[in-house]
Amino acid sequence: MQRLAGLSPAFSLLWYLTSLSRWEVCLVTDWSLENATGTNSVQCSRDLELAHQLQQEEDRNRRSKESRQEIEEFQRLQRQYGLDNSGGYKQQQLRNMEIEVSRGRMHPCEFHKRKADMMESLALGVDDGKTKTSGIIEALYKYYQNAATDVRHVWLSAAVDHFHSSFGDKGWGCGYRNFQMLLSSLLQNGSYDDCMKGMSVPCIPKIQSMIEDAWKEGFDPQGASQLNNRLQGTRAWIGACEVYTLLTSLRVKCRIIDFHKPTGPLGTHPRLFEWILNYYCSEREGSPKVVCTAKPPIYLQHQGHSRTVVGIEERKNRTLCLLIFDPGCPSREMQKLLKQDVEVSHLKQLRKFVGNLKHKQYQIVSVEGVLSPEEKVMKLPRHRDVATLSRVTHLHSNGYVCSSDSTPTQPWTYCSCLFITKAYSFMSVKFLFVLFCLFVCLVFFFCKVFVSEVWPLNVCFHPFGFGSGVFIIFIL
């Protein structure tokens, strides 16, 4: 105002109006900035809300997709393992025979004849024998005596019939067919007459019923729960555990050997071959070239398939070769082995060298005799304890788990060994804790005897020392 005092009134008014205009512009500018900032804040809030909604929708779609994929995968596995309630042996047999008739590969008269035979077989619970080939072991014995110059020794199992898959079990019945092979050998062996009295080779639905009966007795409760305690009317696969369970319920002494990892180069299992060689022969030197043993065949399981081992060759170069019956091999191929002039190419379907078995894991079921009724009862899970399991389950560093008297629960796990390990771990912790408490008591006893003259009496008989002694007595 002092600066305006010496100016003319007109110029002073002009300066005042100019200052006022600048002030108004500043106010308008500030208001515009505040308004723009508020608008931007609202827009950012809306954008964040929209992004959150889009993220939630994307998460819902992802979870829905994963859920559909899980359901589809579960249904695929159910179909693969015959647990999709699409029918069992009977339904598949009829369905496949109808397809054969519609394609002109089966006459309607043949269809009705096979259907009648199947219904009779199911009613009796006995296999109709249409997929059976007998006399192969005897034919192999003659062949090795007169030929096979490259073989140094060969050991054959006891007599066994070959069974192959039919219209009713194609794609899932290998475990049942291998059990039929094993049982056919036991039925021809007089040593098992006591537990096989009055039996014949059962049909597949009958085998399913027998396994369910074994479950009801209390064998393999975990395996039963995994298969919903039901096999009849399904196409459910069975493996080494179900074969073990069924044989044990029939009072056949057997055990499962689990070769859970390769023991040779390129994923091979030479230990498996060595074990089978030791099973069939006791002495190699001085034995004849061909030996027909009294040993039953061996059930051989790997992921997705099972077969039956009926012998083993030792070549002149000291390599080993298994002789295997495959339920996937049809009768017309197996019957070629019954001819007088057996060719080497006919044995190709039987021979399996070390390099031919390269699955990650194998299990075998070997038969070792007959169980008494008391021994059968002791096989039930409720009669086994940690001490028993520790005596009969041995984990070897050479690549296999031997579970001789413990009922396995799953084909490819080692539940018994893990159970024992956990039990002994618990016992070790408990033992160390008891030692610690004893040490504490000894310390207080030392204080009582040697320091009572120096320390007050109430320190020597501290409640903690007394409590420790009482607690140790309780633990023991």
Residues noted as catalytic = 174, 305, 326
DSSP run (H or E) holding 403:
strand 401-403
Contact in structure between 399 and 259 (CB atoms under 8 Å)? yes
Listed in sequence order, the residues at least 6 apart from 135 whose beta carbon sits closer than 8 Å to its beta carbon are 338
d(CA 473, CA 470): 5
All residues at 6 or more sequence positions from 93 whose CB lies less than 8 Å from its CB, including other chains = 118, 166, 167, 168
Torsion-angle region of 395 (φ positive above 0: left; ψ -120 to 50: alpha; else: beta): beta
Cα–chain-centroid distance for residue 353?
25
Given a contact cutoff of 8 angstroms between Cβ atoms, the answer to whether 291 and 158 are in contact is: no
> Which residues does 272 contact at the CB level (< 8 Å), separation at least 6?
259, 263, 357, 362, 364, 400
Contact, 379 vs 388, CB < 8 A?
no
Q: Which positions ≥6 away from 226 have C-beta within 8 Å? A: 410
Task: State the distance between the two ends of the chain, measured CA to CA, in whole angstroms.
Answer: 104
**CA proximity to 305, closest of 322, 324, 277, 280:** 324
Q: Angle 415-450/463-475 helices, nearest 10 degrees?
A: 150
Do residues 294 and 158 touch, judged by C-beta distance below 8 A? yes
Decide: 409 and 415 in contact? Cβ < 8 Å.
Answer: yes
Closest CA to 267 of 411, 116, 111, 399: 399
Tell me which residue has tokens 């796990």: 413
The amino acid present at 440, given as its one-letter code, is V
